[in-house]
Amino acid sequence: MLSSNVFLLVVQATLYFTVMMSLLRARKAIGIGVFMCALGVMHFLETYLASVFYIQLPFGIISPGSTVMFSGKLLMILLLYIREDAAVVRQPIYGLLIGNFLIVGLVMILRNHDTVSVVPGHVPDIGFVDEMGWLMVWGTILLFLDSVGIIVLYERIGQLFGRHLGWRFLFCGAVMLTFDQAGFYLALRVISGAPFEVFVGGWGAKMFATVIYTGFFIAYLKFFDDEKGWRTNRSFRDVFQVLTFRERYQDLLETTSLDHLTGAFHRRRYDAFGPDILKGCLEAGEPLSMLIFDIDHFKGINDRLGHQTGDEVLKAVGKLLKENVRQDDSLYRVGGEEFVMLACSLTPAAAMRLAERIRRQIEIFSEETLPERVTVSIGVATAPDDARQLDELFSIADQRLYQAKRQGRNQVSGPLPASEPNSSN
């Protein structure tokens, strides 16, 4: 029986996450209102189940309403905030607060009606309605505090967990659901005399739900979405004030920051964000490798074959470079035929191997596809070994780039010897 209860809870959590995440993902096509209505429509059922419906699990007596529905709703509010912005997430938070108080107000008026019995033996249980009303009032206040608290906590611990979005999500859920379980049990204790085992079992179940939902979220990011687009580190004062329509703003920022010809970021993006990328890597105890690529004899290509062919060469080189950029790496076009790649967690040896692989790919691709053979020279430098400031790192990588050119071009020059002998141009 216990294993059956656990299995059914996992099935419920799977169904809840799948449907709600699908609505969140499809919000641009069907509207965010569908997600919000689905989020709010179950609040009365959650409260009802939390007050009267309990099951036995290995770690205690729990309510599926609190375990699956309320835990899921709080974490969905956090995901809505991460994916959208403060202005959007305020809508369900305030809507649930106002709507639930409205229900209580209407019930207080309805209970004064003189009722008639339409179906023999069926009369309204006003005592239960009153009990539910008090639980809904208290539960609504807790939900409001939980929703604001989990968002503030998510932003405050951003530096602690860095790029580990799953751990950040798990920590926030565990802390705020612990707070919620303590608060809701207090109400149950006062209203219905619930034993302490209800608190212990409910807390264990909510921690179990948090782990399950975190696992679902990580799987979703791995198979259906890009984790990089979910990261946000706003200042504390921005949590409920600034940065409205965040996702559309980021899309616009990304588009206007891209070089239309190669798809790489512009130089101004490098100047604006490069220092922060380097700082973040070093603070996390990771190296950051900078690779500078320069197309050999590019002016000669333009002079001999025309600028249209030169543009095709730039497009091809940019495409190949982007194909070699990992999820957390950044690629910039910093000059006419010069590109910079910033790669966190890439050691000097790994950076040299990557540079050599890209050099060969460009050479082979050009021989097979482009009007003439195209090669690149590459300079590599790694922080903190070579430098700890971005401009100093660029200067060292640039010096090594020109060393590769002086040695005959179509070469990689860096802190270590190239892994294989290079052909010369």
What single-letter DSSP state applies at residue 2?
H
What's the Rg (C-alpha) of the chain? 29
- Check if the beta carbon of residue 321 is closer than 8 Å to that of residue 265: no
* pTM across the whole model: 0.53
Question: Looking up tokens 């004064």, which residue turns up?
Answer: 112
- Write the CB contacts of 273 (distance below 8 Å, at least 6 apart in sequence): 330
Task: Look at 334 and 50; give whichever has higher pLDDT.
Answer: 334
For 269-408, list the strands marked E by DSSP. 288-295, 330-333, 338-344, 376-383
User: How high is the pLDDT of residue 47?
Assistant: 74
- Reply yes or no on whether the pLDDT at 35 is more than 50: yes
User: What is the three-class DSSP state of 370?
Assistant: coil
pLDDT in tens, 404-420: 999 999 999 998 765 44
pLDDT in tens, 252-310: 455 557 888 898 998 888 998 899 999 999 999 999 999 999 999 999 988 888 888 88
User: How high is the pLDDT of residue 240?
Assistant: 46
pLDDT in tens, 41-98: 887 777 777 767 878 877 677 878 778 888 999 999 988 888 877 778 888 888 888 8
pLDDT in tens, 97-114: 888 788 878 877 887 888
Residue ranges of domains in the chain, CATH in brackets: 2-113+122-238 (no CATH), 257-413 (3.30.70.270)
- Check if the beta carbon of residue 54 is closer than 8 Å to that of residue 16: no
Say how many CA atoms lie within 13 Å of 153 toward its Cβ: 20
User: How high is the pLDDT of residue 343?
Assistant: 95
The whole-chain average pLDDT of the chain stands at 83
Question: Looking up tokens 């179950």, which residue turns up?
Answer: 42
- Write the CB contacts of 208 (distance below 8 Å, at least 6 apart in sequence): 9, 59, 67
pLDDT in tens, 215-240: 999 888 888 776 555 555 544 444 44
**Residue 107 vs residues 50, 126, 135, 137: alpha-carbon distances, Å:** 19, 9, 13, 12
